[in-house]
Amino acid sequence: MRILVTRPQPGGEATAARLRACGHDVVLAPLLATEAVAWEPPAMLPHAVLLTSGAAVRFAGDVASLQALPCFTVGRATAAAATAAGWSDVRAGAGCVQAAIDVIAAAGVETLLHLAGADRTAMVVPARVRLTTCIVYRAVVQPLADLPAVDWVLLYSPRTAAHFASECDRLAAARASIAIAAISPAALAAAGAGWARAVAATSPDEDALLAAIGVSCQ
């Protein structure tokens, strides 16, 4: 198959390499570019840290003062990135921000530092958890130069999905000729209607996303 990968770098290239190794043709067109934002840790160390993306791990910079604290992550990929970066006590979530918050509250955490991107998924924080959010990176949308003929388009977030739909309309590309696969039902909804095929991953991870289009690359 020929697949358009819209995932930001460096993840986009990793996905492309994975698909090519399985014999697929890949067009790489990242629709978001991430960049660091200057920040400072709070004066008082929290009881734990929350990481909701690998980008937060990459762009947080020097976090040696925090790395002995329990580190809760939204999923396994972010947990692996945190471990590789030197975090010692990493606890992977099930892929949902709200689920991670619920686990953190159940663990008795009273003060929590969220190292986050500028665009964040809404979550309900229990009153007993005092949350401090530090923005360590932001993602800037990138234009789609053109829309090559592909079998599937992979969309990795609601923001990316909405932007892809907008770019298709700007380029006067017929949605009815494009098949999209989204990382979650929320991302699929953000893309809107009118696509030739539109599927969502059964869980918010790349294995499930590829499975949704009939691809298995282990």
How does pLDDT run across 143-175, given as a tens digit for each residue?
999 999 999 999 999 999 999 999 999 999 999
Are 146 and 173 spatial neighbours (Cβ–Cβ below 8 Å)?
no
Compute the mean pLDDT over every residue in the chain, rounded to the nearest whole number: 93
Alpha carbons 204 and 165: distance in angstroms, whole number: 20
How does pLDDT run across 45-102, given as a tens digit for each residue?
999 999 998 899 999 998 999 999 999 999 888 999 999 999 999 999 887 888 899 9
Res 218 pLDDT > 70: no
In this prediction, residue 38 carries a pLDDT of 95
How does pLDDT run across 92-137, given as a tens digit for each residue?
988 788 889 999 999 999 999 999 999 888 889 999 999 999 999 9
Q: Model's pTM, two decimal places? A: 0.77
For residue 142, give the amino acid letter. Q
